[in-house]
Structure 1
């Protein structure tokens, strides 16, 4: 027995529940055997069953609207029935609808498409993808790990199905299709799966998750060891099917652990991995994935510190060149929300210069089409200049780096690195405005958070060189503000950039770049504002698909030795 939540959409005129139904009524769920629902069945625990792991309140749970069901009777789900509030017992002879096999996600997809298509979603917690993950069976000393999950959490499923309906090419693709079969067919096009029949050799045993791990080479100068974990539903059928798939291949070792087939180069290695402490028990791995949050459909992790040491010893790579990554680890995920797709990543242990000034991208005019804002470049260049100069000297060969610096001063009248540090300042923001895109000279400008007087002196040196060259470049408009120097293609645009704008108030911007005030790096493109320039000449599904694209946002943050990154593609 589960309590049903009806969530009202801002885009639908319906109330949050049917007029004739109590919002506190319960949802009746019948298990495949017809008996009572087991305790905790269908609930959505933390990812990987680890306390706090992957629990990111609110992530992916955007409000959806409600629309009354169009078809009579409850929709089916995973062999049972998900019905409306408890009704009187069915009349004699009434038969429950049952699923006759196939893949649970395909059935769930059919239900979700029907619900989303009607504008409503309910019983989201019954659609959760739980169970053992590949990191629970792969070896804990892995250097790199990657995972694909075709049975993700409920929030991810709902978001995926909602997004799929926005595109002509995919809006009808979740009506019972098996994504595993689609993947098999894509791989089969390369000829790697000749004489393999999916329905006979693969479908009877293939599960929904697969993971891959790379271990350190067993011998010096050797190749990393590859371990593959494939979720299976029938060990005997999997053994026969994998033997066909791997015929003549390098993964001859096969062992089973907690519902997964572990494949390795030798049987001895596979048996060892099946008994080894799993990656999920690795404290660093667990901490990184907890910081990452929702693992989405695709996730990955790597220990760059250990990888850099192996590279330095086996490939002759200079350890100094790997210094920034000496103790770094990273974790990332591809995940979805009802309005966007996101590639998110976190890092730890990286030596980096922390920006003291946040980006100013949110202060740009509301008419901004695209912008990039980076903080801390000046400080970074100042602190890294000795190492950078060594790199320049090494690349220059016989012509020393000092000569190149002297040549730059003679040719442009600038002093390195001081003048470059001044221009880069605490923050550099470059923007393009919607106004003027149709004209001969678009509105392009830069906002330099630095010492305005010193920056104007450097700009004057560069302008003098340009004027002497006779290239005919238009004069740069300048506006000096408190702690800022604005450079633009027109005086009007420079004046507008010198004032605090309202781009940060846009809901599109806030979704594309969450918490922009704490970001040290940000990039934003409003595709709706420029789509007329790239949609010309397009027709049909191609045009409709591109019209679905709304905006792109990239943001990054660095605090001490930890950092985060987000790339979001928004959809209309």
Structure 2
């Protein structure tokens, strides 16, 4: 059943500042990526949060793993496991990354009474010519802070773990111990680092090189530019490598670290315009919405070229990846979400999708996958797929012809028939054991008879390993690994009525790719293997949902949610 509107709970309709200790401000709603039923129009320039208001984040390489946690009743703490990796031999930049990890990985608590999330962002002090950007923020918008408290309160033990004020100090002590650098032992975390350490950090990669080193900059927020610069200078001096030198500069409440020789040129580039003032970047981030506690942005082709240059490899970037991508990690009171957008992907054409068939699965479905508009997608993707098949063969023959001969089919035509307008796999609730599990297939908007023949050909080639119960009905084909389930799939189910399903997937009206897993129904199979320290937290997780949809030619969005009970 198509959901015409995004059914997920509004981040701030449930929690209110009045319900949180010490709160004195009114939080505004947290903006998310426009759902398919909403307008996809984006402002031309992104505005960061200001005092008393919140800005919008809404949601690939991928986002670095981040752990975020709620503090005690008076506040909430966020933690991130690692800072962006920079150069393998630059201790100075690594020191900056370490300090970023301490700021964002160790539990700086912010009181919910300070809900603004205002102030300069790392993008304000990174030059506008950056081709890649990573941001970490433990002082996000007010809506994000409240949503984090609400979500993490559902996870047993989260408050206890992340409310510890000495996590950063423990991290520092562990790094010093493992480094075996006696110089680092001269620094006292409480006296030398904690007093000036801010709540935001960013990393920007820029075009070109200086002195043989890639142009890049780490931006660390600080409350005391002078003290931060002095401390970081002493930290970077701990390196015994004469080639390992770092420039340290300051700008607008941030200390900037670059490889030697890039400090002044970075400031000069910044004087020409910041990344935040770059119209392309700001437009992409506005479309992304509220940037939450972590966000990333890439000029895909330029960053891929940089990565290949650094690794010494040469491989053409596929046309389908040329463009830009942006990602975020954010909270809702009901889930934590990784979300992202792609823009300027000129080789990608809009696909008309719908998650209706996913919602029509039986209510006892524990896991499902749907590809909508697969026949359209294959038209554009087949040339690249064929190249992939030929590369697997290593020049040993025409793989397409071999498959056509073996299966008695025509590619890509028969594959399009099998995918149809909607291709859905589902697994019902069942007693898993030694017997063959029940898995179902539903294909709609296709030549069902021909699709059935293609499946039969695949069965024949399997040599009896695959035997399906099949039912063709008009433009629909149903199949299952065990008798009876195919017939059940032919009857409209009520999965879309489930609150768990709706929360995990949101608006599915334009879904092209969807995945759903009901953790509550299958936890009995994996919880016994979870250790006691994590058992209750894992048990508190309810479902996983992935929703990918097309927003126009060259544009698309995705949302990956982990739902709590």
TM-score, with normalisation over the residues of structure 2?
Answer: 0.76
Q: Assess if the C-alpha contact under 8 Å between 1:44 and 1:129 holds in 2.
A: no
- Displacement of 1:516 in angstroms is 1.3
**More contact order relative to length (CA 8 Å, sep ≥ 6):** 2
Structure 2 equivalent of residue 357 of structure 1: 353
Structure 2 equivalent of residue 495 of structure 1: 487
- Displacement of 1:281 in angstroms is 0.4
| SS, match of residue 404 in structure 2 | helix
Q: 1:275 aligns with which of 264, 271, 275?
A: 271
Structure 2 equivalent of residue 448 of structure 1: 443
- Displacement of 1:395 in angstroms is 4.4
Change (3 A) 1:456 1:178: same
Structure 2 equivalent of residue 367 of structure 1: 364
| Counterpart check, 1:235 vs 2:225 | yes
Q: After alignment, is 188-197 or 522-531 more displaced?
A: 188-197
**1 CA distance for matches of 2:23 and 2:402?**
79
Structure 2 equivalent of residue 560 of structure 1: 553
Structure 2 equivalent of residue 429 of structure 1: 424
- Displacement of 1:219 in angstroms is 6.9
| SS, match of residue 509 in structure 2 | helix
**2 CA distance for matches of 1:487 and 1:44?**
44
**1 CA distance for matches of 2:396 and 2:385?**
15
| SS, match of residue 350 in structure 2 | coil
Q: After alignment, is 489-498 or 190-199 more displaced?
A: 190-199
* Cα deviation code 1:176-234 (max 9, x no counterpart): 626654654565464275443211210121111111100112379x6531101111111
**1 CA distance for matches of 2:191 and 2:427?**
57
Q: Assess if the C-alpha contact under 8 Å between 1:298 and 1:335 holds in 2.
A: yes
* Cα deviation code 1:230-254 (max 9, x no counterpart): 1111122112211122223745212
Could you list the runs of 5+ residues in structure 2 that have no partner in the other structure? 1-11, 31-45, 59-72, 77-102
**1 CA distance for matches of 2:479 and 2:26?**
61
**1 CA distance for matches of 2:405 and 2:363?**
42
Q: Assess if the C-alpha contact under 8 Å between 2:368 and 2:516 holds in 1.
A: yes
| Counterpart check, 1:264 vs 2:258 | yes
Q: 2:235 aligns with which of 237, 245, 254?
A: 245
**1 CA distance for matches of 2:426 and 2:75?**
51
Change (3 A) 1:146 1:182: farther
Q: Assess if the C-alpha contact under 8 Å between 2:156 and 2:537 holds in 1.
A: yes
Change (3 A) 1:331 1:186: farther
Equivalent runs, 1:33-182 vs 2, <5 Å: 48-49=48-49, 54-55=55-56, 108-109=110-111, 126-173=114-161, 175=163, 177=165, 180-181=168-169
* Cα deviation code 1:374-396 (max 9, x no counterpart): 12333333443344334434443
Change (3 A) 1:303 1:56: closer
**2 CA distance for matches of 1:241 and 1:273?**
25
**2 CA distance for matches of 1:344 and 1:162?**
19
**2 CA distance for matches of 1:134 and 1:330?**
18
| SS, match of residue 208 in structure 2 | coil
**1 CA distance for matches of 2:560 and 2:499?**
17
Q: Assess if the C-alpha contact under 8 Å between 1:106 and 1:178 holds in 2.
A: no
Q: 1:291 aligns with which of 263, 287, 302?
A: 287
Q: Assess if the C-alpha contact under 8 Å between 2:340 and 2:557 holds in 1.
A: yes
| Counterpart check, 1:457 vs 2:448 | no
Structure 1 equivalent of residue 497 of structure 2: 505
Q: 2:214 aligns with which of 224, 249, 257?
A: 224
| SS, match of residue 355 in structure 1 | coil
Q: After alignment, is 334-343 or 240-249 more displaced?
A: 240-249
Q: CA RMSD in A?
A: 3.7
- Displacement of 1:530 in angstroms is 0.5
Q: 2:563 aligns with which of 547, 556, 570?
A: 570
- Displacement of 1:41 in angstroms is 11
| SS, match of residue 441 in structure 2 | strand
TM-score, with normalisation over the residues of structure 1?
Answer: 0.75
Structure 1 equivalent of residue 538 of structure 2: 546
| Counterpart check, 1:307 vs 2:303 | yes
**1 CA distance for matches of 2:439 and 2:559?**
25
- Displacement of 1:138 in angstroms is 0.7
- Displacement of 1:511 in angstroms is 1.0
Q: Assess if the C-alpha contact under 8 Å between 1:253 and 1:270 holds in 2.
A: no
Q: Assess if the C-alpha contact under 8 Å between 1:443 and 1:490 holds in 2.
A: yes
- Displacement of 1:261 in angstroms is 0.7
* Cα deviation code 1:475-502 (max 9, x no counterpart): 3111223422111123321111112211
